[in-house]
Amino acid sequence: MLATRCARWPIRSPSGYMAAAVHAALDGKTRVGDPSKQRLRLRRFLFASAFSLLYLVVLGLFLTQGRIDTTTLVQATAVVGVLIVAFSLLFLSGLNLRVADPSLTAWQFLAAVFTMLFVVYRAPDTRVAFTAFFFVALMFGMLRHSNRHLAMLAAISLVAFAIVIALRHATGHDIAVLRLDLLHFIVLVVTVPWFVFIGGHVKRLQRGLSEVSLRLEHIEERARRDDLTGVFNRRALLAAMEDAKQRADMLGEPLSLCVIDLDFFKRYNDEFDHLTGDEVLRAFTLAVQQELRTSDVFGRYGGEEFIQICRDTPLAGAVVDAERLRERISALDLPISRLIGRLTVSIGVAQYVPGETIMQTFARADGALYRAKQRGRNRVES
């Protein structure tokens, strides 16, 4: 009969709690993550705009050497300015979100390449600048696009360069310039595929490193959690207490600790079984987590003993919170309570005194818990 009641006990496993928490977190990121992603896209675009302005500075150096005329430089500056304004409006208005690639990386790349090819058409001696900035633009594209897409963008650029060479030869008939253009074009045709190939390899390495990083974060998070209840474990609590102490010392804010112990917990294991005791622990931690403040840290110190770190909370406030928690736990309607009585807790509270170690504060809270046990349990002492 007891097994049947326990089986119907609507208490999730720790993995269920963790899955629900992760699901909620992901939902939250989906809801609120778009504005932050849009800001990131805008920052990336501004960085690319700085790259475009640097190109104009380089063209200015070519002007000082008589390798480009003033009219071409002014026209290139006007084109760059119009493109920066146009892309800025797309990001600020949110119109970029309507396309498959909201970062507009391909469009930015092609706009930069066509602008540089316009300059090369008007001023052939700027080929050197085109080559250098073309490969930098490819690096930007490599971060956002697959090998296939990057190869397509590179192919479009090379075809456009070939058209520029043909148009210039058709209008100028300068064989010396044509030879230099063709040599330059052949160098690009030979080197670009290798760049795309290496870029794909780098991107695969980056993806692998990202996956490893996520796995390590997951392992680290699991190492900080109690396997049974899903709350912070002893190691994580000790680190959190030390962090809270340092924060209290730095900001001069109060800090209190609550040491919580489930009364007569041993009877659940002795009179029934350890699975029943596990369910009681999970029900208790769920009830506590539902009422925690965002600034509080809660975890299992060991066995049936738990700790609540109350940051920016003086002793009086922590005692009030502890009383509220004690009343909430004693009011829990657990199926097992109908057989052996309601679940209750005893709580010891202490406030951190500047100059002492956090373990000294913990020892005082633990002493207060001992007094609560001695004075009848189901009470709060400080």
Give the pLDDT score at 136: 83
- Of 14-23, 118-127, 299-308, 334-343, where does the model show the most confidence? 299-308
Q: Which long-range contacts (CB under 8 A, 24 or more apart) does 183-187 make?
A: 184/127, 184/131, 185/158, 185/161, 187/131
Bridge partners (DSSP) listed for residue 259? 307, 348
Give start and end residues of each alpha helix (H) in the chain: 2-7, 14-64, 70-93, 105-122, 127-144, 147-172, 175-223, 234-251, 266-271, 274-289, 315-330, 337-340, 358-374
pLDDT in tens, 288-335: 998 888 889 999 998 899 999 999 999 999 999 999 999 999 988 887
Per-residue b/e over 241-274, b at no fewer than 16 CB within 10 Å?
A: beebbeebeeeeebbbbbbbbbbebeebeeebee
User: Going from the N-terminus, what domains does the chain have, and what CATH number goes with each?
Assistant: 10-221 (no CATH), 234-381 (3.30.70.270)
265, 280 contact by CB (below 8 A): yes
Q: Tell me the Cα Rg of the chain.
A: 33
Question: Tell me, what amino acid is at 82?
Answer: V
Q: Map tokens 């807790």 to a residue.
A: 345
Query: What is the token pair recorded at 1?
Result: 């009969």
| CA proximity to 278, closest of 290, 286, 269, 287 | 269
Query: What is the token pair recorded at 211?
Result: 């996956």
Alpha carbons within 13 angstroms on the beta-carbon side of residue 377 total: 10
Q: Is the pLDDT of residue 17 over 50?
A: no
DSSP label of 375? T
Q: Is the pLDDT of residue 54 over 70?
A: yes
Bridge partners (DSSP) listed for residue 346? 261
Give the pLDDT score at 69: 92
Give this prediction's pTM: 0.51
Give the pLDDT score at 30: 37
Give the pLDDT score at 212: 75
